[in-house]
Amino acid sequence: MAQTVFVAPHPDDVALSCGGTVALAARTGSPIIATLFAGRPADEVSEFAAFQHERWGVDAASVATARLAEDEAAALALGETVQQVRFDYLDAIYRNPAYSSDDALFGTLQDDDLPLIDQIVADLARLDASEYVVPLAAGNHVDHQLAFRAGRRLAGRGASVWAYADIPYVIDNPRAITERLARGTVREVHVTYLDDAAFERKCQAVECYPSQLPVLFRDLGDHRAALDRHARATGGGKRAEVCWRVLPSGIGIRGN
């Protein structure tokens, strides 16, 4: 039986953004987390990538192994039936030297990256999912933009595609959702309410990424408190996660 595929540009994106929804799905099925940019970097990386590794407390030789271990632990925390698929596309900081600053990483896609969209579409389509859940790309990280555009192309092929609100970007800047919705590329909001057990599994999964937590929540304080506030704001007092139906390419602002 085909399952829902939750698309994570990087390890931690699904746990952070829609981990409670995955935990609920795992009670009755076998949801799949497909991580796109999970390739192993070369031993020699750019100065910007090395700076990121220093923040994470890893080096180029160990980063892929460390993040894989975190990812496996997080999937198990979300549910014993959660499946994982990883693709070996390189993270932007390893893939293209033009992504050498935060401004570039959260800016315009480089032309060299555009062919990746069809490759990602082909890989995801082979999973034969009943539906796909991709990042909305709120926050504008280039890897999230690629995943969202791939989702739009899947929608154009007749797939059911939804987009989740990217955490922590939407906590840092709530207007990021409004800016993305204004593009007219999604509609039909769907709210998933989380019970205590689902929210606890989400928090435990997020805590499986110790290399990322100090960076992701450096301006947000305690991660559990930040996630709880955001979930309750989303659900009008009850904890919730939200997603929107993704429209095919050609509707709304071109290419976004």
Instruction: Give the confidence band of 177 by pLDDT, cuts at 50, 70, 90.
Output: very high
Nearest by Cα to 175 from 139, 149, 147, 144? 139
**Dmax of the chain from CA atoms?**
48
Q: Is 206 helix (H, G, I), strand (E, B) or coil?
A: helix
Does residue 251 surpass a pLDDT of 80?
no
Q: What is the mean pLDDT of residues 42-61?
A: 88
Q: What is the mean pLDDT of residues 226-237?
A: 97
Does residue 86 surpass a pLDDT of 80?
yes
The verdict on residue 87 lying in a domain is yes
Q: What is the pTM of this model?
A: 0.95
Instruction: Give the confidence band of 250 by pLDDT, cuts at 50, 70, 90.
Output: confident
Q: What percent of the chain has pLDDT over 70?
A: 98
The verdict on residue 161 lying in a domain is yes
Q: What is the mean pLDDT of residues 186-207?
A: 97
Report the alpha-carbon distance of residue 108 to residue 103 in Å, rounded.
Answer: 9
Report the alpha-carbon distance of residue 124 to residue 201 in Å, rounded.
Answer: 26
Q: What is the mean pLDDT of residues 141-159?
A: 97
Report the alpha-carbon distance of residue 176 to residue 228 in Å, rounded.
Answer: 19
The verdict on residue 195 lying in a domain is yes
Alpha helices in the chain (DSSP H): 13-25, 47-56, 63-78, 92-95, 102-105, 115-125, 142-156, 169-172, 175-181, 196-206, 213-216, 223-234
Instruction: Give the confidence band of 147 by pLDDT, cuts at 50, 70, 90.
Output: very high
Report the alpha-carbon distance of residue 185 to residue 182 in Å, rounded.
Answer: 8
The verdict on residue 256 lying in a domain is no
Specify the CATH number for the domain of residue 117: 3.40.50.10320
Instruction: Give the confidence band of 252 by pLDDT, cuts at 50, 70, 90.
Output: low
Does residue 186 surpass a pLDDT of 60?
yes
Q: Identify the burial level of 137 via C-beta atoms within 10 angstroms of its C-beta, where 0-12 means exposed, 13-18 middle and 19 or more buried.
A: buried
Q: What is the mean pLDDT of residues 46-55?
A: 91
Q: The domain containing residue 138 runs over which residues?
A: 4-246
The verdict on residue 235 lying in a domain is yes
The verdict on residue 67 lying in a domain is yes
For the beta carbon of residue 14, count every other beta carbon within 10 angstroms: 30
Does residue 182 surpass a pLDDT of 80?
yes
Instruction: Give the confidence band of 2 by pLDDT, cuts at 50, 70, 90.
Output: low
The interaxial angle of helices 63-78 and 196-206, nearest 10 deg, is: 170
Residues 165 and 115 sit within 8 Å (Cβ to Cβ):
no
Domain count, the chain: 1
Does residue 1 surpass a pLDDT of 50?
no
Tokens of 212: 């990322």
Tokens of 226: 């930040």
The verdict on residue 193 lying in a domain is yes
Phi, psi of 137 (to 5 degrees): 70, 25
The verdict on residue 75 lying in a domain is yes
User: What tens digit of pLDDT does each residue of 102-111 get?
Assistant: 999 999 999 9
